[in-house]
Amino acid sequence: MPGRKVQYFTKKEEEFTDLLIGIGISRIVAKVLVFLANTPEATSRDIERGADLRQPEVSIAMQYLHEQGWVESRLVRTEAIGRPQNLIKLSRPIAEIIDHIQTEKEDEIRKKMVLAQKIRDYVS
């Protein structure tokens, strides 16, 4: 994989990341999601460079994304001596992932509204 071109965030992708962070997605997960939404496959190192994250941050984000079922990976042998590389990609379209996030956030809001009403009933 030597000589692979690494993608960096555009202004629009930075804004997308900020929106995800604004609704409560962690910064590292938001950055990895946006990066993977705009590339067919990437190595962990590509994500580190392109999303401006450190290796431990990428690992934490990948663990969360795997638990959600939003990413998949496959091992690819390189021509160089050493370990095979993991190529990572989204397992479903980004729009579907955003739909899931939206549903999750709507549920959180509904639960908080019910609690707020119970508080109001308590003080009334």
Q: Which domains does the chain carry?
A: 11-92 (1.10.10.10)
Looking at residue 1, its pLDDT comes to: 44
Residues of the chain under the 50 pLDDT cut:
1-3
Q: Using CB atoms within 10 A of its CB, is residue 36 exposed (0-12), middle (13-18) or buried (19+)?
A: buried
Cα atoms found within 13 Å of the Cα of residue 65, Cβ hemisphere only? 29
pLDDT for the residue 99: 97
Phi first, then psi: what are they for 76, rounded to 5°? -130, 125
pTM reported for the whole predicted model:
0.84
Q: What is the rounded distance in angstroms from the CA atom of residue 35 to the CA atom of residue 31?
A: 6
